[in-house]
Amino acid sequence: MTTEPPTDAAVAHADGVEIAWEDARAFNLANWQDRAALHEEAYGLEAFDDPEHLSEVASDDLAALLPFVGTLRGKDLCHLQCHIGTDTVSLARAGARVTALDFSDRALEVAARLAERAGVDVTWVLGDVLEARTHVSGDFDIVYTSVGTIGWLRDLDRWAMQIAALLRPGGLFYIRDGHPMLYTIDEDADDDLVRHRYFADGTAQMWDDDSTYAGDGKVAHSRTYEWPHPLSETINSLISAGLQIEKLDEGRVLPWRFSGRMVPVDHGWMWPEGVRDRIPATFTIIARKPA
């Protein structure tokens, strides 16, 4: 059953929306298909002409991940929801043998061009992350996903099962994403107003916004659907899939400017002084599949 929000063009957000997963996915895919070309222009891909260049997201993630794996050199790594591949190419440059999956064929076309430009080999796979084990062959030492991923998914139990199935015994899962508490904040307010839902109830949040988080380009398909996931839901989905949590961290620096009140810092954006200790920006989870 799909219960659509009001059709008034001025309505940019609605909560408690009942929508079939297949319908929501179709809206989201159309939006991300539009983003691919815009982000190819906005991401500054020419930086990868420097053979030492890594994306800021991957650089920060590697600092957290490498103490647990030692090195990526010679490791088999699966990158889920890779988008246009900037972090994927960076992981390959760090030494991993990378397979990357995304549901947007246009994004993967951009990613393949970037990999060729950067001179790295990546296996690109078109498919839904909730069916990753069906689409991706082989087993992996590391399954990786980062920044802006799980909010697009309705069923985290199914997501975690895919991760566990992709990992070899003893393999490691890594995720960094926006903190669910961050997403409750009204990003346009002048104070720390909690506006949006923290807890999951199975319904979606609808957004209608023709901008993207990078550059000034506009998408033709502006409506998207997302699902809030409290931190407990994410952790418990991984535990239920048989993974063992090795580390949970919460951070203050975000890789994109969530709110106009945020100020630039090295590798991202932070809330201003006096706010940054009240509102977490990211969370990081490292989990292992028992040997």
How far is it, in rounded angstroms, from Cα 103 to Cα 125? Answer: 8
- 105 vs 86: CA distance, rounded Å: 16
* 26, pLDDT greater than 90: yes
Q: How far apart are CA 285 and CA 54, in angstroms?
A: 21
Could you tell me the CA-to-CA distances from 41 to 38, 126, 244 in Å, in that order?
A: 5, 22, 40
Assign 7 a pLDDT band (cuts: 50, 70, 90). very low
86-99 pLDDT per residue, tens? 999 999 999 999 99
User: What is the three-class DSSP state of 184?
Assistant: helix
Q: Which of 155, 174, 184 is closest to 288 using CA atoms?
A: 174
Domain ranges of the chain: 13-288
Q: Please give the DSSP secondary-structure letter assigned to residue 46.
A: G
Nearest to 55 by CA among 79, 86, 80: 86
What is the residue-averaged pLDDT of the chain? 93
- The CATH code belonging to domain 13-288 is 3.40.50.150
Helix axes 86-93, 105-118, angle to 10 degrees: 40
Q: Is the pLDDT of residue 3 over 70?
A: no
pLDDT tens-digit profile of 219-264? 888 899 999 999 999 999 999 999 999 999 999 999 999 999 999 9
Condensed to tens digits (0 to 9), the pLDDT of residues 93-138 reads 999 999 999 999 999 999 999 999 999 999 999 999 999 999 999 9
| Token duo for residue 262 | 């945020």
Please report the pLDDT score of residue 222 as a whole number: 82
Task: Specify the pTM.
Answer: 0.93
Q: Which amino acid is at 179?
A: H
Question: Among 114-123, 157-166, 202-211, which stretch is predicted with the lowest mean pLDDT?
Answer: 202-211
- Asked if the model's pLDDT at residue 1 lies above 70, the reply is no
Pick the residue with more confidence: 222 or 54? 54
